[in-house]
Amino acid sequence: MLLIDCPWCGTRDQREFTYGGDAAVKRPADPAAVSDKEWHDYVYIRVNPRGSHVELWHHNAGCRRWFKLRRDVVTHEMQGSAPIGSELEPPLPIAGRPGKP
Amino acid sequence: MVKYSIFSLARNALSRHENWPEAWRSPEPKSEYDVIIIGAGGHGLATAYYLAKEHGVTNVAVIEKGYLGGGNTGRNTTIVRSNYYLEPNAHFYEKSLQLWEGLSQDLNYNVMLSQRGVLNLAHAPSEVDSFHRRGNAMRLNGIDAEFMTRDQIAQMVPLLNMSMEARYPILGGLIQRRGGIARHDAVAWGFARAADARGVDIIQNCPVTGIRREGGRVTGVDTARGFIKAKKVGIAVAGHSSHVAAMAGLRLPIESHVLQALVSEPIKPCLDTVVTSGAVHFYVSQSDKGELVMGGDLDGYNSYAQRGNLPIIQHVVAALLALFPCFSRLRMMRTWGGIMDMSMDGSPIIAKTPIGGLYINTGWCYGGFKATPGSGWVFAHTIARDEPHKLNAEFTLERFAEGKTWDEKGMGPTPNAH
Ligand SMILES: Cc1cc2nc3c(=O)[nH]c(=O)nc-3n(C[C@H](O)[C@H](O)[C@H](O)COP(=O)(O)OP(=O)(O)OC[C@H]3O[C@@H](n4cnc5c(N)ncnc54)[C@H](O)[C@@H]3O)c2cc1C
Ligand SMILES: [Zn+2]
């Protein structure tokens, strides 16, 4: 079971949340001004990294707010969460993590 | 290659089956190949086989980071069918099903295709309507489809809960009788053995770590066993597509997600068809060993972990019991997961890339096992001729930019919903 850190409610069971996809994807501010390629990349292209991934989650069975979560998609390790609009810290190198030599 | 037959079986029985030769070699990689396929799943191996058999291209290597068939090929629930609505999917998957029908003979390897029928259940009047529509479209495309009434279903699958008071009342169904299941490992092994017999080198335990290019053309791949030159390179790595394509600087309309499955303890034969319910997000069949093999939806979040979480397992078991209350005392034996290459429209990409000599085969979502022979067939054609076969001409990388997506479920660019 994923245990997800909601920035407002703390650590809760994944069943309370809905996944909202890659948070790095940004809607162009002025869709009419961007090229077809930029629009295509926004709609369809994903980096889909094998490692640390910043993603959107909705605490739909809790405070009902959206937030950002950094998660390692290979190990399921949780690497921090933050409200929308604030930046997430990059993950610590393994050696610097609490409890790791 | 020793031909497998009743005679070779009898001959080898005399020596207690101790003298069977290896089914394929484990060669040292050569310094150069005409074609390198990355990924020895069913698709990569089928591609190599048809390159050799249909196009006479035999200086081919299939390079696999683990053991062959250890990816999704060896993890899937083996449903084979061609019951699609949209034309490009219908024709492609039908070709694949026709190849399945002759595959054991062609490969001289029993892939245990069992055409026991794939039954989709309808639980609402609107679903009944849409099944008629899909069934009609299939028949117009020359594919078998039959609508089944409640009574016919009750007779064919007597263990289903047919009560109108059931949690998911069954109003009818669509069956493709030529659909069914096959032995997943045998498909990988059969293609590997037949490709090897035609001169293809299968290099296992050898991750590809880089794709080298020069002047817009591919020149070879870096691997754990050094650089190997190649005139052409085909990528067939399923859930790892984005990662491997990035080695050539490509970004894909793909997300990786985990799909789980589970099996029960073995029981006597009691379910002789594949039963699926799209509305309930559930499907089940009984394997030759007697286990009930079942699954449902993706976990729903990006994942490269070959394991999932409990909510989906609970959902799948709850759905099983709602449809088949008689299985309530069965114990589950194993669960596992595989990494799916989920495309932005739910249809595959089998295509040339902007890089000369580099080809990609990805976007299989839930359904790539049934595609295995068809995918290898058209991917081999695309690589050998440097142009797509008419059956994969629509499955390009560019279709997203051109607004020509093939979205069977009408979900839009939400990979986890296809
Ligand atoms: C639980 C589950 C149930 C499914 N059920 C069905 C079903 O009922 N019917 C159906 O049609 N489909 C089903 N599928 C989908 C199907 O299994 C896949 O679409 C199909 O197997 C993909 O085939 P493949 O050969 O492309 O992938 P794989 O068998 O995954 O092969 C890809 C190979 O590439 C290798 N690779 C990756 N990276 C590298 C690298 N850097 N270097 C070298 N090699 C690399 C991997 O190790 C792997 O062996 C299911 C999948 C899962 C997980
Ligand atoms: Zn909350």
Chain A residue at shortest CA distance from B240: A50
pLDDT of residue A97: 61
CA of B397 to the centre of ligand 2 (A): 39
pLDDT of residue A92: 67
- Does the structure show a pLDDT above 60 at B196? yes
Beta strands of B215-347 (E only): which ranges? 217-223, 226-235, 254-264, 274-277, 282-286, 292-302, 332-343
pLDDT in tens, B355-392: 999 999 999 998 999 999 999 999 999 999 999 999 99
Mean residue pLDDT of chain B comes to 97
Complete domains list, chain A, with CATH = 3-96 (3.30.2270.10)
Positive or negative: CA dihedral B337, B343, B346, B347: negative
- Does the structure show a pLDDT above 70 at B34? yes
CA of B268 to the centre of ligand 1 (A): 30
B207 CB within 8 Å of a chain A CB: no
Chain B residue at shortest CA distance from A69: B301
Closest to B311 (Cβ–Cβ): which among A14, A40, A44?
A14
Cβ <8 Å between A46 and B303: no
What number is the average pLDDT over the span B259-286?
97
d(Cα B49, Cα B376) in Å, to the nearest integer? 8
What ipTM does this complex have?
0.93
What number is the average pLDDT over the span B177-203?
98
Model confidence at A99, in pLDDT bands (50, 70, 90)? low
The answer to whether B399 touches B272, Cβ cutoff 8 Å, is no
Q: Is A35 exposed, middle or buried (0-12, 13-18, 19+ CB in 10 A)?
A: exposed
Mean residue pLDDT of chain A comes to 91
Ligand 1 closest atom vs CA B364 = 19
Largest CA distance in chain A: 52
Chain A residues in contact with B242 (beta carbon < 8 A): 46-50
What number is the average pLDDT over the span B58-79?
98
pLDDT in tens, A83-94: 998 888 777 666
d(Cα B65, Cα A23) in Å, to the nearest integer? 30
pLDDT in tens, A8-36: 999 999 999 999 999 999 999 999 999 99
Cβ atoms within 10 A of the Cβ of B98, count? 14
The tokens describing B186, both together, are: 């045998």
pLDDT of residue B1: 82
pLDDT in tens, B311-326: 999 999 999 999 999 9
Q: What angle do CA A22, B343, B408 make, to 5 degrees?
A: 125
- Does the structure show a pLDDT above 80 at A95? no
Ligand 1 closest atom vs CA B370 = 11
pLDDT of residue A90: 77
The tokens describing B298, both together, are: 């993706």
CA of B110 to the centre of ligand 1 (A): 20
Q: To the nearest whole percent, how much of chain B has pLDDT over 70?
A: 100
d(Cα B132, Cα A24) in Å, to the nearest integer? 42
pLDDT of residue B9: 95
Cβ <8 Å between B304 and A37: no
pLDDT of residue A100: 54
Cβ <8 Å between B311 and A15: yes
Q: Chain B interface, mutation test: which of A18, A22, A36, A46, most B Cβ atoms within 10 Å?
A: A46
Positive or negative: CA dihedral B345, B350, B353, B359: positive
Put simply, whether the predicted model's pTM sits higher than 0.90 gets the answer yes
Name residues whose C-beta falls within 8 Å of residue B250's C-beta, 6 or more positions apart in sequence: B353, B354, B355, B360
B237 CB within 8 Å of a chain A CB: no
User: Which residues, in sequence order, are bridge partners of residue A22?
Assistant: A55
